[in-house]
Amino acid sequence: MIKKQKRNLSYLWLFPLTILVFFLVFSTVKIEKRKRSLSKEISSLQVELLSLRQENNFLKEAEKEGKSSYYIEKILREKGLYKKKGEKVVVILGNPPREESQNMISKESFFEKILRKLKLRD
């Protein structure tokens, strides 16, 4: 009978070992899954970094172009604020919108309308 108890106790160490192996396998799988997720995130961030660097270079070039006298002259010429010797600037003014002129007439008082009809007032 004593031998039987010793034999049962000899297998008792297998239970903690099995739990330890299960824990290690589970942890390894979890770590690998996290590693794949982080690798995907790293690659997407690298792509984003590359596009941001390209945009930064584009903006630096645009800034250099914006500071050049040629670009400034071009913008001023488009707005009609700059001309070279011998050039003439033509400014075309538009007619005021009709609503405003009608509003001005309707704001006249009754007495002013009578004077205007009698041609006593312009």
Q: pLDDT tens-digit profile of 20-77?
A: 999 999 999 999 999 999 999 999 999 999 999 998 888 888 777 767 777 777 777 7
Q: Is 87 helix (H, G, I), strand (E, B) or coil?
A: coil
Q: Which of 5-14, 28-37, 89-98 has the highest mean pLDDT?
A: 28-37
Quote the CA–CA distance of 40 and 34 in Å, as a whole number.
10
Mean pLDDT, the chain, as a whole number?
79
Residue 104 pLDDT > 70, yes or no? no
Given a contact cutoff of 8 angstroms between Cβ atoms, the answer to whether 45 and 51 are in contact is no
CA atoms within 13 A on the CB side of 14: 5
Quote the CA–CA distance of 73 and 82 in Å, as a whole number.
7
